[in-house]
Copies of this chain bind each other. A is one copy, B any other.
Amino acid sequence: MTSTNPHALASAGRIPAPSCAACKVRQLCLPDHADEDGCAGVDRLVLQRYRLLRGEHLYQASDPVRQRLYAIQSGQFKIYRLSPEGRHRVAGFRGAGDLLGLESIGLANHRNSAVALSDAVLCEFSQPMLAEAALRDTPLARRLDQLLLAELTREQAVSLLLCESGAEQKLAGFIERLSAARCRRGEDGRVLELSMTRTDIGDYLGLAAATVSRTLKRFHGLGCLAVSKRQLTILDRAGLGAIASGQDARAAGLAQPGLAAVHGRPGRISRRADG
């Protein structure tokens, strides 16, 4: 279940190689500079492709670093660690098109654990081989830098998000980011099928699971979000955005009056409503 070496497992393991050219998230991944031969170049760098089952770990904190990078072809991952006092702290979620393992480059042991939240398919690279290939392949080098910079930008955005004091701002921002990520993959950004638990979200945003649950319900009451188990449907993007920016949701004008929104309990959103 928690094996670090996924190859050892039953229906998880090496799978026949669907090439980069056929990959749906190619343009988010290494072969972005994607003429046919660019793809072939990246294809040759893939050590192997394999499947991970939900709940299996790709690596765990304190495991020795094997100098691998993993491109997620499909599936969702949670990156987390145990904080010094023993609490779960979620460093992030990753999905199709993202790279795993960047954070571990140059380390002797992993600082984070990576676990599959859904069945997933990965492409495994050797990090040193990639670096060496980049020396001769300028577009590849550019692409790697680009991905690294994107990662940096994302992380900065997360920091700013976490700075927001209110649970509503954090959660609304989180949902927006989730939605944006889906859109980037060409999926519908309105319907979000969560792969993580409320607790995971809380451990990511610095909130209690109970607060996540309550806040989602509040969004529902405001009419900007439909919540059904792990499926979120964004009903009012502008309203969510307003909350994420710290504005009063009602003042910002929730989309259509006449929705469930109107019956929302008054006076819950925003400490600035009457300030």
Instruction: Name A residues whose Cβ lies closer than 8 Å to a Cβ of B.
Output: 81, 83-85, 87, 89, 91-92, 102-103, 105-106, 131, 135, 138, 141, 145-146, 148-149, 151-153, 155-156, 158-160, 162-165, 203-206, 244-247
Q: A84-B245, A106-B149, A165-B206 are in contact. List 17 more A-B contacts (CB 8 A).
A: A81-B160, A83-B164, A87-B246, A92-B159, A103-B153, A105-B149, A106-B146, A131-B145, A141-B141, A152-B155, A155-B158, A158-B159, A159-B159, A162-B162, A162-B163, A163-B206, A164-B206
Given A135-B138, A145-B148, A155-B156; A246-B83 close (CB under 8 Å): yes
Q: Which of B105, B141, B152 contacts A102 (CB 8 A)?
A: B152
Q: Which of B146, B159, B205, B244 contacts A155 (CB 8 A)?
A: B159
In the assembled complex, how far is the CB of residue A156 from the closest CB belonging to chain B, in whole angstroms?
6
Write the chain B residue with the least CB distance to A160. Answer: B89
Report whether B91 and A156 are in contact in the complex, using a CB–CB cutoff of 8 Å.
Answer: yes
Report whether B156 and A103 are in contact in the complex, using a CB–CB cutoff of 8 Å.
Answer: yes
Write the chain B residue with the least CB distance to A158. Answer: B159
In the assembled complex, how far is the CB of residue A99 from the closest CB belonging to chain B, in whole angstroms?
12
Q: Which residues of B contact A163 (CB under 8 A)?
A: 89, 162, 203-206
